[in-house]
A and B are shown apart, each in its own frame.
Chain A
Amino acid sequence: MTDKILKKEEIEKFYLDLSRYFNFFAPTKENGNIVFKKITDPCEIIFDFLNSKVPPKEIVFPRMETLFTYKINGKEIEIEPVNNLNEKYLIFGIRPCDAYSFNLLENFFASGKFQDDIFIEKRKNTILIGMGCNTPRQTCFCTSLDHGGHPHRMDDVDIFLTDLGDKYLMRSISKMGKAIIDKLAWLSDAQRKDVAKAVELSKKAEELIKTKVDLENIAETLKPHFDHPLWKEISENCLGCGTCAFLCPTCTCFDVIDENDHYNNRGKRIRLWDTCQFCIYTTHASGHNPRKSKIERCRNRILHKFSYYPKNYGMLGCVGCGRCIQSCPVNNDLRVIIHKIKNLEKEKIEVKIIAT
């Protein structure tokens, strides 16, 4: 298999060829934020970006998604399943951490007795064209994750791109990726020096990740500490705003509501992103709430990612993208929280304040 070269001036051609078959999503700028959007003009693509504000999971698991539509006609009700599941998606420029999150999402939605066929169908129709990070952020810690997280990890995408400056080194990873590259006959072959440069960039990027988070056996470490005062400490300054969850590439919780169009006697059942950080999330109709204060809610978030997820699915529920760290309004830094967890045995936590 030969690696190919995609020159930056050829992006337009690349876009035109592929957008015939796919809804072409790429990083673009909207209101000052980088977002993955369906683009209609290759000029919209932003090539130099750190990562998007909202993870590209929103393409396959949108913040608002129709589960089915209905028509009400007196006592007659007609239910229509969603019919857009055959749409093909292509995500250009997805970062390795986010691409890995697609694995986690897929694994979660497909696991257990019931499959989320809406997600699975969408995921099946999605092609990932990953792009290595040459300049990871200060808050990135993908290399600390046990799945082999790396700013140039290629395993989770169909095609992997390395930014060599004026061009991309393009490598097909999956069968589908190979089929696409084969179709683009105009792509030139990569030279040995291009490949060497990509290797060098990959190494350099790894070195740039200074944040090391010790996640070894974290699930085991957490196990006996459900009632530890630690949870009081880490939830102390939490606002319960849920920003961490809304920007997390692995968070999947949702609310389900019926949205009616009363004028036309129809409506749709939709799901909306939700978060365990909200009080109302677990409140029973009776008013009883099993996770009544932010202490329990913060604990649930951490345990879900680092204890329940490994136990139920054999992988950590975190990809090390650092979005929660960057965006937390009170700077409740996940890295610090993990450090505290790992040092529970060594440093005694004495909690004197309980804010509930």
Chain B
Amino acid sequence: MVILMGNIQEENKNIEHSMKEVAYNLLKNKEVDLIIGYAKGTIPLSSSPSFIINQKDVDNLIWDNLCHVNLARYVVPPITKIIDNENIPLKVGIVSKGCVGRSLIHLAKENQVNLENIKIIGISCNGIINRKRIEKELGEKEIIELSVMNSEIIAKGVDFVKTFFFDDYLNESCKKCKIKAPPMVSSQSNVIVGGSVESSSGEDDFSDLTEHESKTPEEKWQTIVELLSPCTRCYACREACPMCYCNLCFVDQNKPIWFGKTTDMSDIVSFHLVRAMHVAGRCVACGSCSSACPMGIDLTFITRKLEKIVKQRFDFTSGLSFDILPPMMTQKMNDKEDFMIGEH
């Protein structure tokens, strides 16, 4: 649930303002060499990840409900290094909404990033707009301007104005998100800006899955097939995902060939399900995969279920703590094994 703390636009402006201030000071005090944040996009419904090295460019940073890319992507393979012209590694400050911060913490756990070299500029996110859904619903009407006002998203075209209720048109993963700002981790002095909101401590709410779970296996399969049928196998979901940092993805391995690369439905489904399994217990529900998908497939529909399974079986939520080992990196005698054949 998104709790509206007054005007969202106002809130964003405040976050943006304090974020700029923090970024400016970090650069000024040479605490970081580089800030990775978001800049305004050239078209409506977009934002552009931006690398800022000069204090004067800090003003280009923005924060709004369209900052959808998970910036943790820029510090894990295949991006192996961020260096200057003299080949010296740069200390990076990353503008982090809750899920970006969680990604970084989780990636540090997996030894993919060194948090010593990364400053998490935490901000409290109020949800990312589901741009694919809005685009699809408007159909063949082109949006020229998109803004958020009070609790509404306003899309303007040449000959139309349409409003959407903010809470309904967030990414599905954002709707149930309880971790708005990056969690504080002991080993790291995070910089939280913009009215940090404590993560609500209530039970995780997976009620969105109830409908799907009530279906028969055949119906579930049908839903998944329908969901994935537009897939062109461009792998944008994989490339946008900070957890997909394998040197050679299982689908690209050819000695032996594990998975078909065709656009036959069976190959499409197996790719997405296996990828989802690979990010189980690691996915931070940032929704980057869905927002990168050119065909507008909401892939978080699959990862969401895995999130629930991991929570129930291992009582684990990824990227929350630096002290707990993720379930896929450890083994405990009391791990639930009821997925194994023979146990019911």
CB distance from B286 to the nearest CB of A (A): 12
> Are A353's CB and B51's CB within 8 A?
yes
Q: A29-B139, A280-B252 are in contact. List 19 more A-B contacts (CB 8 A).
A: A31-B226, A32-B135, A33-B230, A50-B140, A64-B262, A138-B144, A236-B51, A237-B74, A259-B262, A270-B262, A294-B79, A333-B42, A333-B43, A352-B85, A353-B83, A355-B51, A355-B82, A356-B80, A356-B81
> Are A246's CB and B48's CB within 8 A?
no
Interfacial chain B residues near A239, Cβ < 8 Å: 69, 73, 236, 239-240, 292
CB distance from A231 to the nearest CB of B (A): 14
Interfacial chain B residues near A247, Cβ < 8 Å: 294
Given A237-B51, A239-B239, A280-B252, A246–B294 Cβ distance below 8 Å? yes
> Are B50's CB and A237's CB within 8 A?
yes
Interfacial chain B residues near A137, Cβ < 8 Å: 142
Interfacial chain B residues near A227, Cβ < 8 Å: none
CB distance from A284 to the nearest CB of B (A): 13
Complex Cα–Cα for A48 and B83 (A): 49
B315 contacts the other chain (Cβ, under 8 Å)? no
Given A272-B261, A273-B232, A325-B43, A240–B136 Cβ distance below 8 Å? no
Interfacial chain B residues near A294, Cβ < 8 Å: 78-79
Interfacial chain B residues near A330, Cβ < 8 Å: 48-49, 69
Interfacial chain A residues near B14, Cβ < 8 Å: none
CB distance from B26 to the nearest CB of A (A): 15
> Are A30's CB and B230's CB within 8 A?
yes
> Are B74's CB and A241's CB within 8 A?
no
> Are B80's CB and A351's CB within 8 A?
no
Complex Cα–Cα for A301 and B233 (A): 19
Within 8 A of B (CB), among A108-131: none
Complex Cα–Cα for A64 and B267 (A): 12
Q: Pick the contact of B295 from A33, A139, A237, A354 — CB < 8 Å?
A: A33
A327 contacts the other chain (Cβ, under 8 Å)? yes
B154 contacts the other chain (Cβ, under 8 Å)? no
Q: Pick the contact of B46 from A49, A243, A331, A354 — CB < 8 Å?
A: A331
Q: Closest B residue to A332 by CB, please name it.
A: B48
Given A259-B260, A332-B48, A241–B82 Cβ distance below 8 Å? no
> Are B84's CB and A353's CB within 8 A?
yes
Binary per-residue interface labels of chain B (7-46) against chain A in the complex, 1 for a CB within 8 Å, 0 otherwise: 0000000000000000000000000001000000111001
Given A137-B142, A237-B74, A354-B83, A331–B51 Cβ distance below 8 Å? no
> Are B236's CB and A138's CB within 8 A?
no
Binary per-residue interface labels of chain A (1-34) against chain B in the complex, 1 for a CB within 8 Å, 0 otherwise: 0000000000000000000000000000111111
> Are B236's CB and A331's CB within 8 A?
no
> Are B51's CB and A336's CB within 8 A?
no
A279 contacts the other chain (Cβ, under 8 Å)? yes
How many pairs of A and B residues are in contact by the CB < 8 Å rule?
Answer: 145
Within 8 A of A (CB), among B61-96: 68-69, 73-74, 78-85, 90
Q: Closest A residue to B68 by CB, please name it.
A: A329
CB distance from A106 to the nearest CB of B (A): 23
Complex Cα–Cα for A135 and B160 (A): 14
B322 contacts the other chain (Cβ, under 8 Å)? no
> Are B240's CB and A329's CB within 8 A?
yes
Give B residues with C-beta under 8 Å from A. Answer: 34, 41-43, 46-51, 53, 68-69, 73-74, 78-85, 90, 135-137, 139-140, 142, 144, 158, 226, 229-230, 232-236, 239-240, 248, 252, 257, 260-264, 288, 291-292, 294-297
Give A residues with C-beta under 8 Å from B. Answer: 29-34, 46, 48-50, 53-54, 63-64, 135, 137-139, 236-237, 239-243, 245-247, 255, 257, 259, 270, 272-273, 275, 278-280, 294, 325-327, 329-333, 335-336, 351-356
> Are A272's CB and B41's CB within 8 A?
no
CB distance from A251 to the nearest CB of B (A): 11
> Are A353's CB and B53's CB within 8 A?
yes
CB distance from B162 to the nearest CB of A (A): 16
Given A239-B73, A246-B234, A332-B48, A32–B252 Cβ distance below 8 Å? no
Given A330-B69, A331-B42, A352-B84, A241–B232 Cβ distance below 8 Å? no
Interfacial chain B residues near A50, Cβ < 8 Å: 140, 142
> Are B48's CB and A31's CB within 8 A?
no
CB distance from B107 to the nearest CB of A (A): 16
> Are A329's CB and B140's CB within 8 A?
no
> Are A48's CB and B144's CB within 8 A?
no
Given A270-B262, A356-B80, A46–B140 Cβ distance below 8 Å? yes
Q: Pick the contact of A241 from B53, B239, B261 — CB < 8 Å?
A: B239
Interfacial chain B residues near A63, Cβ < 8 Å: 232-233, 263
> Are A53's CB and B239's CB within 8 A?
no
Q: Pick the contact of B239 from A29, A135, A240, A273 — CB < 8 Å?
A: A240
What are 13 A-B contacts with C-beta separation under 8 Å?
A32-B136, A50-B142, A53-B295, A239-B240, A239-B292, A280-B252, A329-B68, A330-B48, A351-B85, A353-B82, A353-B84, A353-B90, A356-B79
Complex Cα–Cα for A48 and B240 (A): 32
Q: Closest A residue to B52 by CB, please name it.
A: A353
> Are B43's CB and A326's CB within 8 A?
yes
Interface centre among B158, B291, B292 (most CB of A within 10 A): B292
Interfacial chain B residues near A280, Cβ < 8 Å: 248, 252
